[in-house]
Amino acid sequence: MVGVSTIAESILDNPVFVGLSKTEAEELASHCDILVLPAGRPIFEQGAQAKSIFVLFKGSVNVSVRDMAGEEHLVGSIPAGDVFGEMGVLEAQARSATTIAAEDCVILRIPGTSFTMMVKQGHPAIHRLLQWAIRKSCQRLRELDGRLDTLFEQDAK
């Protein structure tokens, strides 16, 4: 098991948590654990109950969705330093996609119950995580808008 101080050091090195104090990082770390996963290992499955938020410290993660015919489609990749799994926890909904370690990964797992408790406390780490998630959501929306524009332009021709 990885100790709180080691987890806190990794938290302080992550761009999501820039500006946290050592004490704030240790407080967050006391609620989290580190997952060390080999390439090919599933992290969560589409349709599963969302119980945690993840911060990818090392490696990359593939994101896929299953269509109505049961076919799996790769829809994206998550790079090191990014947050994922937040949608299901924030919305209290089932997972909208499946995530699999694309390479060996080191991941911070924040249990949803701890996340909710720290939101109520106004913890600075959660404030930074939410800011990151909002920026990423806006970026994803802009990318989707761009793809839709391209599709509509092709359709108009």
Q: What is the pTM of this model?
A: 0.85
pLDDT for position 111 = 94
d(CA 27, CA 17): 13
The rounded percent of the chain whose pLDDT value lies above 90 is 70
Phi-psi region of 19 (alpha: psi -120 to 50; beta: other; left: phi over 0): left
Per-residue pLDDT tens digits for 103-139: 999 999 999 999 999 999 999 999 999 998 888 888 8
d(CA 144, CA 33): 33
The distance from CA 1 to its chain's CA centroid, rounded to whole angstroms, is 22
pLDDT at 23 over 70: yes
Average pLDDT rounded to a whole number, residues 56-64: 96
pLDDT for position 3 = 66
Per-residue pLDDT tens digits for 78-91: 999 999 999 899 88
